[in-house]
Structure 1
Amino acid sequence: MYRYTICFLKHRNGILMLNRNKSPLMGLWNGVGGKLEHGETPLDSVLREVREETGILLETACYKGIVSWLVDGMETGGMYAFLAHLPEDYERNQTPQAVEEGILDWKELAWILDPDNAGVPENLPMFLPYMLEEVDPCQHFFTYENNQVVKYETAPLQKPVTT
């Protein structure tokens, strides 16, 4: 079982992103999420993290798979990935907005996925399009050497995890 969750909240052509003010990924824009607490399912964790970090009360989120990584030959972790589509009539809060974890802001997909964007984690533009386009959950596995992605593999998940 992995220790982390991440959720991408989509509204129209934007994603609510968090610029973290501490490690890991300090200073980069990413989805919202965090550590699973004792006894939580990944879904319970991501719903709690979204509420704590954004104030948005989700009833559910769509499980999109697992993102995991190998760093310099050592497996160092992974996270359960979720996507939540906010209703068309959802009224966005004024952003950017400072929160305890960093800064929240709505970012357009084109900005997030731009190949020249150094403001997001290097692997995000690789797995996020799949999460947005595909229905079935997938395993996204990244191999890093010297802080750079050197290999990216995907595989369909045979059995869904307990969410």
Structure 2
Amino acid sequence: MFIKKLYTLVFIRNDAQILLGLKKRGFGINKWNGFGGKVEQNEKIIDAAARELKEECCLNVKTSNLKNIGHLEFTFEGDSTMMDVRVFATNSFEGVPSETEEMLPKWFELDQIPYDDMWLDDRLWFPYMLKGKLFYGKFHYQGFDKILNYTIEELESMESFYAKKK
């Protein structure tokens, strides 16, 4: 049985580019990723997504502009924790992406995403996100550099997915 920990992941996009952050410390160090982190006790998931985005790259986003586009679950061999990650995207924000103690933000052309310096699973679910598809993925890792097994599927709607999960 796994202990679920709830996380958020936010991607800022436009038609030609995506904003990624290079993790400078902690879990995922030296990997490019979206912006996010743990949902605090008594905090709404959407509020955590907006808070983490501000903390990690100094951008402000209205929660009404964040669209839940995916759900990812990660487990690691020998670890009883499941990372339950809600993925959001938006193209509407205020501010200029700025480096923080935790992340170095950088815009990437959509055909130049640095997959070699990202989590292995990103290659598998990013195509859904980039095509505007909703998705669910479940990944089981050995260490941080080997996926033992995974499933990924396109979803009709996030609402029906969450209704089924209850």
Shorter chain as denominator, the TM-score bin is: 0.7 to 0.9
| Residue number in structure 1 paired with 2:123 | 125
* Cα RMSD, aligned residues only: 2.5
- Greater share of helix residues, 1 or 2? 2
TM-score by length of 1: 0.79
| 2:140 paired with 1:143 | yes
Residue pair 1:35, 1:45 contacting (<8 A) in 2 also? yes
**Cα displacement string for residues 98-147 of structure 1 (whole angstroms, at most 9, x for unaligned residues):** 312121111122222x6xx42111111211221232444x3210122353
Counterparts of 1:2 and 1:135, CA distance in 2: 25
**Cα displacement string for residues 59-99 of structure 1 (whole angstroms, at most 9, x for unaligned residues):** 12110121112222655322111111238xx8x84x7x431
Instruction: State, as a whole percentage, how many aligned pairs show the same letter.
Output: 23
What count of residue pairs does the alignment treat as equivalent?
A: 152
Residue pair 2:74, 2:140 contacting (<8 A) in 1 also? yes
| 2:79 paired with 1:69 | no
What is the identity, as a one-letter code, of the residue corresponding to 1:150? L
| Residue number in structure 2 paired with 1:82 | 88
Q: CA deviation at 1:19?
A: 0.6
Alignment of 1:47-58 (within 5 A): 47-58=50-61
Counterparts of 2:19 and 2:77, CA distance in 1: 31
| Residue number in structure 1 paired with 2:37 | 34
Residue pair 1:20, 1:103 contacting (<8 A) in 2 also? yes
- Equivalent position to 1:16, from 1, 16, 19: 19
Tell me, what secondary structure is at the counterpart of 1:139?
Answer: strand
Tell me, what secondary structure is at the counterpart of 1:34?
Answer: coil
What is the identity, as a one-letter code, of the residue corresponding to 2:140? T
Residue pair 1:2, 1:80 contacting (<8 A) in 2 also? no
Structure 2 stretches lacking a partner, 5+ long: none
TM-score by length of 2: 0.78
